[in-house]
Amino acid sequence: MTRGLHEPFATLPRQREAATFGIWIFLATEMIFFGGLFLGYAVYRHEYPAGFAAAGARTDIVIGTANTMLLLTSSATMAAAVWSGRAGLRGNTLLALVLTALLGTGFLVLKAVEYRNDIDEGLVPGSPAFPLSEPGAELFFGYYWAMTGLHTVHLVIGVGALGLTAWRLWRGRLAWRGTGFLHVLGLYWHFVDVIWIFLFPLLYLMGR
Amino acid sequence: MQRDQDDGRGLWLKAGAVWIALGVVLAATVAGAYLAPGPLRLPLALGLGAVKAALVVVVFMELFDSRASTRIAPLVGALFVALLFALSFADEATRQEMPRSFAAPPERAVQDR
């Protein structure tokens, strides 16, 4: 029996197709899940343009831009991991997976620093030290925390999955040749990147 | 073995080329947020975001290399998000008046006094 082939599939290509279809269905539900938050943001921005602009100018554009570049870079290394896996290059795949996990970890470290600064500045909805008086500014930060927080949870899961995959690949415990495993992991990672691509202008570039 | 090494270099070059394109578009996004005329900033930022997302979805996620049955899944997701926005903004964009702020005291409280 071919390594990595599971019931009920007769061949690896059919198993790969099913895995790809499955992850895309999951990602479609994630689109709708994040879509609700984007919608809430859009409605309140339409309602309070001045408050959203004033609040958007208070987010950290340096960390935000650096984090965007980290995630874009991590998507490139993730793609290299998937393509290396397809070409049968084990060392290359392992290197690219580790790089992707490190870039993801870098994002999380910078995000933690940014969250600490935000809390120090009182940029938390409901905080007595909240520095802005414009209507809608607190709503903006409500969405900022909810959207970046949910995105961070997704990223933590991604970094964990990458670390586990790299470790299993290194130990020879992963059926990576011909299976859809790396591609499915890559699709999840790229999706988390795409969500950030749209979060970045909405949360960091308003009111500049 | 030689062929494997060549394949490896080629795929890193391809990923690197897309990465450079993504970096250039990101730089344009940030510059546009400061330099573009006010009303154009949001559409420009979202448009450039769409360019970055398209690069990731087409090249890295290989959406158009997958089967039609697979491509239907994200299409349905996008359709529901479009419905969500269309129906909500059909209400939001056509309202005559909205409460000015959740912080403003309701008029009823004044009448009760």
pLDDT exceeds cutoff 80 at B98: no
CATH 1.10.150.80 correct for A16-204: no
How far is Cα A85 from Cα A64, in angstroms, rounded to an integer?
31
pLDDT at B105: 60
Contacts of A21 in chain B (CB under 8 A): 67, 69-70, 73
Q: What is the pLDDT of residues A175-200, one digit of tens each?
A: 998 899 999 999 999 999 999 999 99
- For A65, the closest of B12, B30, B98 (CB atoms) is B30
pLDDT at B97: 65
Measure B56 CA to nearest chain A CA, in Å: 7
pLDDT at A193: 98
Q: Which of A72, A94, A188, A199 to mutate to test the interface with B (most CBs of B within 10 A)?
A: A72
Q: Say yes or no for a CB contact (<8 Å) between B26 and A68.
A: yes
Contacts of A206 in chain B (CB under 8 A): 42
* C-alpha triplet A142, B31, A131: angle, nearest 5°: 30
pLDDT exceeds cutoff 80 at B108: no
Average pLDDT, integer, range B13-17: 97
pLDDT at B104: 60
Question: Would the CA dihedral through A147, A48, B36, B39 be positive or negative?
Answer: positive
Measure A161 CA to nearest chain B CA, in Å: 18
Contacts of A190 in chain B (CB under 8 A): 56-57, 60-61
How far is Cα B22 from Cα A73, in angstroms, rounded to an integer?
9
Q: What is the ipTM of this complex?
A: 0.94
pLDDT at B1: 43
Residue ranges, chain A, pLDDT below 70:
1-2
Domains in chain A: boundaries: 16-204
Q: Say yes or no for a CB contact (<8 Å) between A47 and B46.
A: no
Q: Say yes or no for a CB contact (<8 Å) between A83 and B84.
A: no
Rg (CA), chain B: 23
How far is Cα A52 from Cα A69, in angstroms, rounded to an integer?
24
- For B8, the closest of A72, A79, A84 (CB atoms) is A84
Rounded to two decimals, what is the model's pTM? Answer: 0.91
Domains in chain B: boundaries: 2-112
